[in-house]
Amino acid sequence: MFVSSKTYLSIKNQNDALVKEIETLKAKNKTLFDEKQHLQTQLNDQRKNDIQVFQESLLTSSIDCITQIEGVRQTVLESYLTIDEESKVSYQINELLDNSNVSLKHIVHEMEIMAKKMGSMTENISGLSSMADSINTFVVTISKISDQTNLLALNAAIEAARAGEAGRGFSVVADEVRTLATNTNQSAQEVSELVKEIIAKTGETVESVSDIQQNNAQLSTNFDSLNNDYSAIISHCTKMKDTITSAATRSFIQTVKLDHIVWKGDVYAVANGTSKKSIDDFTDHTMCRLGKWYNSEQAQNFKKLNAFKQLEEPHREVHRNGVEALVLIHNGERSKAIKHINKMEAASERVMNLLDELDNH
């Protein structure tokens, strides 16, 4: 089949037009593809930028959150200081009660000795009363003898008078004997009255001593009861002291744990450029609260514990690696700094675990 030249030319022109249109479409397609790639690149960059901004914002918020712990730490610290002061007061009260208890026991002991002496005194006074009774009996006997002597002297005087001149000398002797008997009788009566008075006073003294003994026994019973009450009070105070001491220790440990969180927060804040602190502001491990406590007398009760013995090394590593990380960041060596930050966190976790062991010992 033959096609006319006119028809062929028309078809060729149409074909050329289609080829040109295809080339134009290819060019537009390439342009659109390039624009798409450019937009995709921009979108990816924007996403990366958004993620970076988000991460930076999140880091800043985290650092701000850690900074807010400073207030919590201060509150816990104030609680610790208050409890620690109460602990010291409880120690003083305990010492006073111990001293009072010793004094009370000494008083009870002295009262027991006094009770024994009062018992001996009662026995001695009772013996004195018996002796006075014996003396009184002896005086009565002397009085009877004196009366009989006086009667005999009177009879002798009568007989001498009857004898007249021959009995005059005997009469004088009889008068002297009667006078002596009369004086003896008077003296015996005076001694008898004195002995009766001694017996009466002795009886009163025995009654008084007996009353004192009873009062002393009652007082001793009261002191025993008071001593038991004191012992109970001391026991309760000792338990209270132990409770307060334990609470003070727990508060202190929580305070130093918060200290470390805040210290690490300051490291991150400086690393992130959100803090004006310098590297020199970060103390070494011996100058922070935990370091000072570690070498103080307050830590004496913990020094035999394994957790306490293991605490110093990781504590030192926390401070050393934190400061070293800041030095490297300052020098632009961020990749090396990250390694030290990871070491700081690992050491910090070890410190926290050891502090928990001390808290639960």
pLDDT tens for each residue of the chain, 361 residues long = 455 666 667 776 777 677 777 777 777 777 777 777 777 777 666 656 544 544 554 455 455 545 546 555 666 667 667 767 766 776 777 777 777 777 777 777 777 777 777 777 777 766 766 777 777 777 777 777 777 777 776 777 777 677 766 666 666 766 777 777 677 777 777 777 777 777 777 777 777 777 777 777 777 777 777 777 777 777 777 787 777 777 777 888 888 888 888 888 888 888 878 778 888 888 788 888 888 888 888 788 788 899 999 999 999 999 999 999 899 988 988 888 888 988 988 998 899 899 888 888 7
Give yes or no: residues 98 and 41 share one domain. Answer: no
Residue 84 falls inside a structural domain: no
**What CATH number does the domain containing 198 carry?**
1.10.287.950
Give yes or no: residues 108 and 181 share one domain. Answer: yes
Residue type, 58: L
Residue 195 falls inside a structural domain: yes
Residue 283 falls inside a structural domain: no
Give yes or no: residues 48 and 174 share one domain. Answer: no
Instruction: Show the tokens assigned to 15.
Output: 């074909």
Query: What's the total number of domains in the chain?
Result: 2
Give yes or no: residues 102 and 236 share one domain. Answer: yes
What was the pLDDT predicted at 223?
72
Give yes or no: residues 192 and 107 share one domain. Answer: yes
Domain holding 29, by residue range, is 1-53
Report the alpha-carbon distance of residue 18 to residue 30 in Å, rounded. 18
Give yes or no: residues 47 and 99 share one domain. Answer: no
CA dihedral 126, 129, 133, 139 (to 10 degrees): 150
What was the pLDDT predicted at 167?
64
What was the pLDDT predicted at 168?
63
Q: Quick one: how far is CA 153 from the chain centroid?
A: 94
Residue 81 falls inside a structural domain: no
Please name which of 190, 177, 192 lies closest in space to residue 146, comparing C-alpha atoms. Answer: 177
The angle at the Cα of 81, spanning 75 to 87, to the nearest 5 degrees, equals: 135
What was the pLDDT predicted at 319?
93
Domain boundary among 217, 243, 269: 243
Give yes or no: residues 101 and 49 share one domain. Answer: no
How many CA atoms, within 13 angstroms, populate the side-chain half-sphere of residue 330? 12
Instruction: Identify the burial level of 13 via C-beta atoms within 10 angstroms of its C-beta, where 0-12 means exposed, 13-18 middle and 19 or more buried.
Output: exposed
Residue 163 falls inside a structural domain: yes
Give yes or no: residues 156 and 29 share one domain. Answer: no
Residue 69 falls inside a structural domain: no
Give yes or no: residues 107 and 172 share one domain. Answer: yes
Give yes or no: residues 137 and 32 share one domain. Answer: no
Give yes or no: residues 174 and 123 share one domain. Answer: yes
Residue 350 falls inside a structural domain: no
Q: Tokens 């961020």, residue?
A: 334
Residue 354 falls inside a structural domain: no
Instruction: Show the tokens assigned to 325.
Output: 């990380």
Give yes or no: residues 46 and 101 share one domain. Answer: no
